[in-house]
Chains A and B, each alone.
Chain A
Amino acid sequence: MRIELVKRKEHSQLMTILSPLIAVFLTLIAAAILFAISGKDPMLGLFKFFIEPLLDTWSLQEIVVKATPLVLIACGLSVCYLSNNWNIGAEGQFIVGALFGSFLPILYPDFQNAFTLPLMLLFGVLGGALWGLIPAVLKSRFNTNEILTSLMLVYVAGLLLDYLVRGPWRDPDGYNFPESRLFSDVATLPLIGDGRMSASAPITVLIVIILAIVLSKTLKGFEIQVMGESPRAGGFAGFSKKRLTLFVFAVSGGLAGLAGTMEVSGSLGQLLPSISPGYGFTAIIVAFLGRLNPIAILIAGLVLALSYIGGESVQASMGVSDKIASVIQGLLLFFVLACDTFILYRPRIQFGRRTAGREA
């Protein structure tokens, strides 16, 4: 007996939907094995990791808080990835967006009116877009590899934040703690509910819907799809590859920057030396788990956010290392990519040697 992969003539619609579900299922099995190996009850582990966080309002709100930046960044990344541009630097664009968004409340704390918050968000988008445009310009002008340049700029952005928070932007009344001054009330996103959930959640949902429409219904979305699949045909359609590269990096950088600003102005309320637990990188998993489709990304973002909260939960209640969350996220991406094979390939199981030639 052997198993072989047969290429399909067309994409399988069924597998496109099924693949992430199978991946999640396989991840559950792998997670159970992991718990068993660490000497814990696998069923209890799975329950604490995946179910318990859903049973309590506080942790449900926390899931939304964590999912919001993931979804927003992943949506931007999906636009990039669909067009075959590999932006790995969303983490850096998130940070620079947060910096741009914060300069108003930190350097001009007295500028307090109805425009404060909208301007902050606008600057956040601008900052992220500018940071994203650096690898895009380098790619379209000098043919550099955007994977490397965008990734390296993450560390530049991280150090810039660290420098500002410890240096010029440090809170003058903060007893030398490395953090900025707290944002004033008008510079803070209004909260929703009794937890840390803020207006960033509905804003994100709105952007998801807009992006879903742009990608599926408009010529721009068509252009992105064509350029990703077949740049030569895109050129024949009259689309410019270089312009599109700039466009998609600006969009994904801008959305990451917006996420960064909303994170500091919503959940954190000030700048800290570290403002992200790796949202920009985890969003890559979210984007692929969501099939680069904004609506599916919304769901995928919630699943990944659950894994953060679940990780904390099993760490607290069962004494499992908190690294388990990272392992499970990694497994999930691994299984998603593996299952994607079945979208264009069909598995076939062969029994015995002779199936082709009925004896003559």
Chain B
Amino acid sequence: MVGGIKPLTSTGALRGTESGAARRLNGEALLDGRGLTKRFGDILANNKVDLKINKGEIHALLGENGAGKSTLVKMFYGALEPDEGEILWEEQSVRIDNPAAARTLGIGMVFQHFSLFEALTVVENIALALPNPGNMKDLAARIEAVSTDYGLPLAPQDIVADLPVGIRQRIEIVRCLLQEPRLIIMDEPTSVLTPQEADRLFLTLQRLASEGCAVLYISHRLEEVKRICHHATILRHGKVVGECDPSKETAKSLANMMVGTTVIGVSHGASMPETGSVRLELSGLTAPAQTPFATALSSIDLDVHAGEVVAIAGVAGNGQGELFDALSGEMIVAADMIRIDDQACGHKGVTWRRKNNAAFVPEERLGHGAVPGLKLTSNIVLTRHGTADDLVSAGFIRRYKSRDLEQTIKGNYDVRMSHDDPEARSLSGGNLQKFVVGRELDRKPGVLIVNQPTWGVDAGAAALIRQALIDLARSGSAVLVISQDLDEIFEIADRIAVISRGYLSKPKDALQMTRQTVGLLMAGEAEDGHAPARETV
């Protein structure tokens, strides 16, 4: 059976290509979902979805935020139960009641939102997920061996709370690999990796596939889907709208299938104004590491001018979080190290900086950028209570004002929600990101600092956010983007700097940078240039 190739849609881009189809015909089905349907209240999250994964196949699952990818995957992993339809595992009908049952079958999952206990060590976290963890010492040794073998080295005794996002994801992947799975489900695995790290991961995946293990791969990065995936299934509004061999498609055609319309590329508009005034100035920004696992910031110099987007590239855990905290005022530094519109403010808190027309979007949207259990209107008050929105009068919160703002942001940034003013936790990752970014952009800030603006966001929403960042800069603001996504950086940045172990390279014109030069800087080339500075610090 050819996994239900659907008729073409109006975009006309779908084909069951020969080679893909051939491989599919010869393949032996490992997991076969038939007519899977899942309802949440009035919303049909999955509508009669068919999905077949063959042994040794890297199968991409594509779709916009809210298309139903997570719901589908959770049914395979036993975290949700389908309302209708059935799941066949090696042609046997199975019922996957819970994640433990999925693991027994040989299904492993790497989540986009990590399911790790922060207070525990790496080895303890992994032991919790294994049916027979055995002796902790042996397990730690196995973790070291497996993680090094797959190019994702881990220190088993590290406490998770001290680890950056990139490393946390490694834990999830290694935890999965330790169970010798037959199907690995990966949700946005490369969003926190460098190109080199991603390449290592791809080698790992290809090796796993050649060993007969199947991979269900969810990603918004269409280039990498094209590169490594054998087959792709595309979901839109909970339905399968097509299948294809991604290597035969272009990133653009894939994006069009997902969105159902043509995705508009980001436009830079008028070329960058030569030199606007300096709106954000960092001089010798230095901060000691706050915990043994944090990164110290070493004498960072940077000017961001009105009208430009400056991007900071770098591998996760090289000081991006610390830099963001120093810029936002969550970590206080010496006054002169940071100037916003020529006012020294390194010693000022986040509210003062917001009042002086700066805005911030952190990397973690849930728990940092937004409070999970609070409604969106309250989450607007979170970052805007001190700014000139009159949200607070004589200590009292004016709810109707935040309700107006919510409606505006919802409309302007296409935040989709199942009912009005929901709790932040109930929004999908991409929609919440649109909200969190929109909340700050809506203020038209003079200085905007964004960490990972489009992490885990689908193509359509990412384009919207990126365009908004460029537009903001062109209207005379200074925009600083910290990102680990090189595609994104090259798409939006006027100048690029690279952060590596707390050192920042000198920013250069984006047109003069290539992936190679950025890659070298990520690997620490900038630190050599800074060597004398390091000694004086």
Contacts and interface: CB of A to CB of B under 8 A. Distances in A.
Interface of A: 9-11, 217-220, 222, 225-226, 229-230, 232-233, 235-238, 353-360
B87 A357 contact: yes
A236 B386 contact: no
For the complex of A and B, list the 5 residue pairs with the smallest distance between their C-beta atoms, beginning with the closest. A357-B86, A238-B351, A9-B426, A238-B350, A230-B371
Contacts of B383: 236-237
B390 interface: no
B67 interface: no
Nearest to B94: A357
A304 B351 CA distance: 43
A236 B87 contact: no
Contacts of A353: 95
A236 B369 contact: yes
Nearest to B398: A217
11 contacts: A10-B426, A219-B381, A222-B385, A233-B371, A236-B360, A236-B368, A237-B350, A238-B386, A353-B95, A356-B85, A359-B93
A357 to B, nearest CB: 3
Nearest to B426: A9
A238 B354 contact: yes
Contact of B382 (A233, A357, A358, A359): A233
B82 A356 contact: yes
Interface residues of B, number: 45
B385 A219 contact: yes
Nearest to A235: B330
Given A218-B396, A357-B85, 20 more contacts: A10-B423, A219-B385, A219-B392, A226-B371, A226-B374, A229-B371, A230-B371, A232-B367, A232-B368, A236-B330, A236-B368, A236-B383, A237-B385, A238-B329, A355-B81, A356-B96, A357-B86, A357-B93, A357-B94, A360-B34
A11 B373 contact: yes
Contacts of A232: 364, 367-368
B7 interface: no
A229 B374 contact: yes
Contacts of A238: 329, 349-351, 354, 385-386
Contacts of B350: 235-238
B372 interface: yes
B328 A236 contact: yes
B422 interface: yes
A86 B426 CA distance: 28
A13 to B, nearest CB: 11
B299 interface: no
B143 to A, nearest CB: 28
A220 B368 contact: no
Given A10-B422, A236-B350, A238-B386, A230 B367 contact: yes
A295 to B, nearest CB: 18
Contacts of A11: 373, 423
B40 interface: yes
Contacts of B395: 218-220
A95 B320 CA distance: 50
Nearest to A353: B95
Contacts of B360: 236
Given A9-B40, A356-B86, A360-B93, A236 B381 contact: no
B404 interface: no
A217 B396 contact: yes
B84 A358 contact: yes
A226 B367 contact: no
A217 B328 CA distance: 27
B321 to A, nearest CB: 11
A55 to B, nearest CB: 42
A11 B374 CA distance: 10
A226 B397 contact: no
A222 B395 CA distance: 10
A230 B372 CA distance: 8
A222 B84 contact: no
A104 B473 CA distance: 66
A360 B370 CA distance: 45
B41 to A, nearest CB: 9
A39 to B, nearest CB: 46
Nearest to A8: B426
Contacts of A229: 371-374
Interface string B280-306: 000000000000000000000000000
A226 B350 CA distance: 16
B346 interface: no
A9 B425 contact: yes
A225 B381 CA distance: 12
Given A9-B40, A218-B396, A238-B351, A356 B369 contact: no
Contact of A222 (B354, B370, B397, B426): B397
Nearest to B384: A237
B95 A354 contact: yes
Nearest to B373: A229
Contacts of B362: 236
B378 interface: yes
Contact of A356 (B95, B330, B373, B422): B95
Contacts of A354: 95
Contacts of A359: 93
Interface in B379-425: 381-383, 385-386, 392, 395-397, 422-423, 425
A9 B170 CA distance: 28
Contacts of B425: 9-10
Nearest to A236: B368
Nearest to A344: B373
A245 B396 CA distance: 21
Among A220, A353, A356, A359, max chain B CB count under 10 A is at A356
A226 B503 CA distance: 34
B396 A225 contact: no
A230 to B, nearest CB: 5
B386 A356 contact: no
B476 to A, nearest CB: 25
B341 to A, nearest CB: 19
A353 B374 CA distance: 38
A53 to B, nearest CB: 38
B400 to A, nearest CB: 12
A241 to B, nearest CB: 11
A230 B425 CA distance: 12
Contacts of A235: 330, 350
Nearest to B88: A360
Contacts of A236: 328, 330, 350, 360, 362, 368-369, 382-383
A11 B426 CA distance: 10
Interface string B83-121: 011111000011110000000000000000000000000
A233 B396 contact: no
B349 to A, nearest CB: 6
Given A217-B396, A238-B349, A233 B369 contact: yes
A169 B223 CA distance: 82
Contacts of B426: 9-10
B364 to A, nearest CB: 8
A114 to B, nearest CB: 31
Interface string B125-148: 000000000000000000000000
B397 A233 contact: no
A1 to B, nearest CB: 13
A358 B35 CA distance: 10
A9 B395 CA distance: 31
A352 to B, nearest CB: 11
Nearest to B331: A235
Interface string B420-453: 0011011000000000000000000000000000
Contacts of A9: 40, 423, 425-426
Contacts of A225: 374
B86 A219 contact: no
Nearest to B82: A356
